[in-house]
Amino acid sequence: MFIERMIKLIVVFLSALFILYPLFFSVVTALKSREAYVESPLGISLDSMSLDNFIKITNNFDFIHKMGNTAFVVITSLIIIFAFSIPTAFYLCNMNNRVTRNFLTIICFSFMFIPEEVLILPEYNLMSKLGLINNFLSVIIIFVAVSLPECIYLLYMYFSLVPNTIINAARSDGATELQCLKRLVVPICKGPILVVLFTTGIALWNSFLIPMLLLHDEDKKLLLPSLSGLITKHSTTPTYQMAGLLLSMVPLVLVYFIFRRHIYEISINGSMH
C-alpha cells in the first residue's frame, strides 16, 4: 500500500518536473537582464528580476501586428481544415465499401508520419512558381495540406464511436446526411472536435520553418519566425526572446480556458439501453 502510494507520488512528481522545468527556465530567463543571464543562466536572484524584457519587446518590436498576422493565418487555416475534415471524416464512417475505406484511412494515417521538413523544398518551389511568396495564401495552403490528413484520421476515429443506430434513427426520422452531421455527430463529438482543433491550432501557431521561408516581408512576417530573428539581430542571449515567446503563448492559454469546459464533453449516455 505504502510503496504503491510512494511510486504514484514519484511518478507524478517526475512528470511535473519534466513539464515545468522548461516553463520555469523560460520564465526565469525572461525576467533577467542580459548581463545577469550571461553571468549565470540558471541562477535566480530576486533583486535583478524585472519586467524590462516584456516592456522592451512590446515597445521596440511590432508584437501586436505580428501576432495579428499569425492569428489571421492560423484561424483561416483552421476554418478551411475543419470545413473539409468534418464532412470527410463522417463520409468515411459511412462508407460501405470496406476496402476503399481502409485504403483512404491508411493514406491519411501514413501522412501523419511524413516530417514537415522533407516537403519544404518542393513546397517552396511550387509557391514561387505560383507567385505566392510573401502572400499569406501560400502558408495557409500548406498549413491546410499538412494538417488535413491527421485531422481527418482523428475525427474519423472519434466519429466512428457514435453508435450507428443513433445515426440510423435520424435517417429514418427523415434527416439528410448533412442534418445528421450538423445536429448529431458534431454536437455529440464536440469535445473531441475541440481537442483536435486546439492541438492543430497550437501546432500551426508554433509552426516556424514554413512561414519563415515563405513570408519575408517584415510586414507579412509571423510571430515565431520574427522572434527567432531577434536572436541574430540583437544579441545571442535569449532573455529578450523568452519574454516574446511567453507573450506569444498568452492567446493559446486564453483560448484553452474559454473552451476548457467543453473539451471533456463526450457523452452518448442515456441514448441506448
Partner 1 sequence: MSKVSLNNLTKDYGKTRALSDFSFVSQENEFVVVVGPSGCGKSTLLNLVAGLEKPTSGSVHVDGENITKLQPNERNISIVFQNYALYPNMTVYENLAFPLSVRKYDKAEIKELVEEVAEKLEISSYLKRKPKTLSGGQRQRVAIGRAMIRKPHVFLLDEPLSNLDASLREKTREELIRLHNSIEAVFLYVTHDQVEALSMADRIIVLNEGVIQQVGTPEEVYYCPENLFVAKFIGSPKINILPTNIYNSFFEPINLCCDDSLCVGIRPENIMLNTDNPDNDDKNGVITLIEMLGKEFAVHVQIGSYSLIASVPAHTFNDSFRCGKKVQCMVDEEKVIFFDVESGERIQKNSLHL
Q: Which residues of 190-218 are buried (b: 16+ CB within 10 A; e: fewer)?
A: bbbbbbbbbebbeebbebeebbbbbbeee
- Residue from 146, 151, 188, 247 binding partner 1 (CB under 8 A): 188
- Is 171 near partner 1 (CB under 8 A)? yes
Q: Is 251 exposed, middle or buried (0-12, 13-18, 19+ CB in 10 A)?
A: middle
Binding range to partner 1, per CB under 8 A, among 8-16, 159-167, 203-211, 241-249? 159-167
Number of neighbours of residue 112 by Cβ within 10 angstroms = 12
Q: Is 23 exposed, middle or buried (0-12, 13-18, 19+ CB in 10 A)?
A: exposed
In order, the DSSP letters of 125-151 are HHHHHTT-TT-HHHHHHHHHHHHHHHH
- Residue from 59, 97, 236, 269 binding partner 1 (CB under 8 A): 269
Binding range to partner 1, per CB under 8 A, among 21-29, 30-38, 100-108, 162-170? 162-170
Of residues 192-221, those binding partner 1 (CB under 8 A): none
What type of residue is 24? F
Query: In the bound complex, what is the minimum distance in angstroms from residue 136's beta carbon to partner 1?
Result: 36
- Is 258 near partner 1 (CB under 8 A)? no
- What is the C-alpha to C-alpha distance for residues 167 and 186, in angstroms, rounded to an integer? 12
Binding range to partner 1, per CB under 8 A, among 22-30, 52-60, 181-189, 220-228? 181-189
- Is 163 near partner 1 (CB under 8 A)? yes
- Is 272 near partner 1 (CB under 8 A)? yes
- Is 175 near partner 1 (CB under 8 A)? yes
Q: Residue 50 corresponds to which cell in the numbers above?
A: 524585472
Of residues 46-75, those binding partner 1 (CB under 8 A): none
**Residue 86 near residue 155 (C-beta atoms within 8 A):** yes
- What is the C-alpha to C-alpha distance for residues 156 and 74, in angstroms, rounded to an integer? 22
- Which CB, 64 or 161, lies closer to partner 1? 161
- Is 268 near partner 1 (CB under 8 A)? yes
Report the interface residues with partner 1, using CB under 8 A: 163, 165-166, 168-176, 179, 183-184, 187-188, 267-273
